[in-house]
A and B are shown apart, each in its own frame.
Chain A
Amino acid sequence: MKIMKVKGNHLVLSLVCLVLGFIMAFSYHLTQLEHESERTSLSDNQYKTTLALRNQLISQEEANRKLQKELRQKQASVTENEKSLAKEAQVFTNLAEDAEKYRMFLGKVKVTGKGVKITLTDGAYNPKEQNINSYLVHEHHVFKVINELYISGAAAVAINGQRLTSHSYINCEGPVITVDGVQYPAPFVITAIGDPEVLASSINLVGGVKDQLVNDNIIFTLEKESEIVLNPILGG
């Protein structure tokens, strides 16, 4: 009985000692680990390397910022260049369009469009008239028609298919009319590109060109055409 009691006593004591030893050792171990981690985190060498790395990082960031600024400036200049290029392109397009338009006006290219076709034919022989000139188409008749057409907004005019330009000349040489050195006999077909309504109404004005021509015994016909094709000037 006594032995059992002593043994139990020792068992309890050893349990207490075990717990104590465990707690103490664990605490010691933990503190040691903490110290170690502190030492490693605050060691001189590491501090130095950390500082160096941090400085490097800062310098890198500064460089980055500088480069970014530069990039932004470059991008702005690129945008500007692009804008000016776009503007230039637009100018060139406008110029090309203008050139095309001027070429059309000058008769360098074929042009098509709505317009009118006027035919002037010599009058029928009239025995009462002694003077043959009174029923022939003269160049001033042609002039009148052409001028009237130009005034009322014709973009292009041709006589018997030959385009007229700003320096064209029309001569009367007996029974034929010379347009820029090419001779054409009657009847004369004058084609003009423009608004057909406007052109026709201006020609048909009462007391206007048509009436004057008809008074001069000229057979005058006017047709509105939906499409007139004018060829470029030969040798132009």
Chain B
Amino acid sequence: MWLPVMGLIIGIILGLLTEIRIPEEYSNYLSIAVLAALDTLFGGIRAYLQNIYDEKVFVSGFFFNIILAASLAFLGVHLGVDLYLAAVFAFGVRLFQNIAVIRRILLTKWSTKKEKLEKS
């Protein structure tokens, strides 16, 4: 259980320590990538709680979504259409839905546990 947490910490440290400067116009893509990653992460958590979690789907979705979002934003910038707004919208909506589902599942789990405890 501590391995993913350590990975997260190492990732954060690496990200803070890197002195790579990327041009300002590419920072948009990065934020889209962050959004995609978060979305996939919460989707994965929801799937896990709903017992339909598939590792392959999760991992491929994680990386593919990041790349897709970034390339979509890139394409949008070069076409003169704010396509990254579409990504933000889609990922934002899904993020909220996923979090809502997670919250409900956790609530029902918590209430059933409580009932079980009361019964026993």
Contacts and interface: CB of A to CB of B under 8 A. Distances in A.
Interface of A: 9-31, 34
B37 A23 contact: yes
Contact of A21 (B12, B24, B33): B12
Interface of B: 1, 3-16, 18, 20, 22, 24, 27, 30-31, 33-34, 37-38, 41, 55, 58-59, 62-63, 66
A27 B26 CA distance: 11
Given A23-B34, A24-B34, A26-B15, A17 B5 contact: yes
22 contacts: A9-B55, A10-B4, A16-B4, A16-B59, A18-B8, A19-B37, A19-B66, A20-B8, A20-B11, A21-B7, A21-B9, A21-B14, A23-B37, A24-B11, A24-B34, A25-B11, A26-B18, A26-B20, A27-B27, A29-B15, A29-B18, A30-B27
A21 B11 CA distance: 4
Nearest to A30: B27
Given A19-B62, A23-B33, A27-B31, 20 more contacts: A11-B3, A13-B3, A13-B7, A14-B3, A14-B4, A14-B6, A17-B5, A20-B11, A21-B9, A21-B14, A21-B15, A22-B11, A22-B15, A23-B34, A23-B37, A24-B12, A26-B15, A26-B18, A27-B33, A34-B24
A10 B59 CA distance: 12
Contact of A19 (B9, B11, B16, B22): B11
Contact of A30 (B7, B14, B22): B22
Nearest to B41: A20
A17 B30 contact: no
A10 B1 CA distance: 7
Contacts of A20: 8, 11, 37-38, 41, 62
A142 B33 CA distance: 129
Nearest to A7: B3
B55 A34 contact: no
B21 to A, nearest CB: 8
A164 B10 CA distance: 124
B35 to A, nearest CB: 10
A17 B15 contact: no
Contacts of A27: 15, 27, 30-31, 33-34
Contacts of A30: 22, 27, 30
Contact of A10 (B3, B9, B41): B3
A15 B41 CA distance: 12
In the A-B complex, list the 9 residue pairs whose CB atoms are closest, starting with the nearest: A25-B15, A21-B11, A14-B7, A22-B11, A26-B15, A18-B7, A18-B11, A17-B8, A17-B7
Contact of A17 (B11, B18, B31): B11
Given A9-B55, A14-B4, A31-B27, A21 B10 contact: yes
B15 A24 contact: yes
A126 B12 CA distance: 151
Contact of B12 (A9, A25, A34): A25
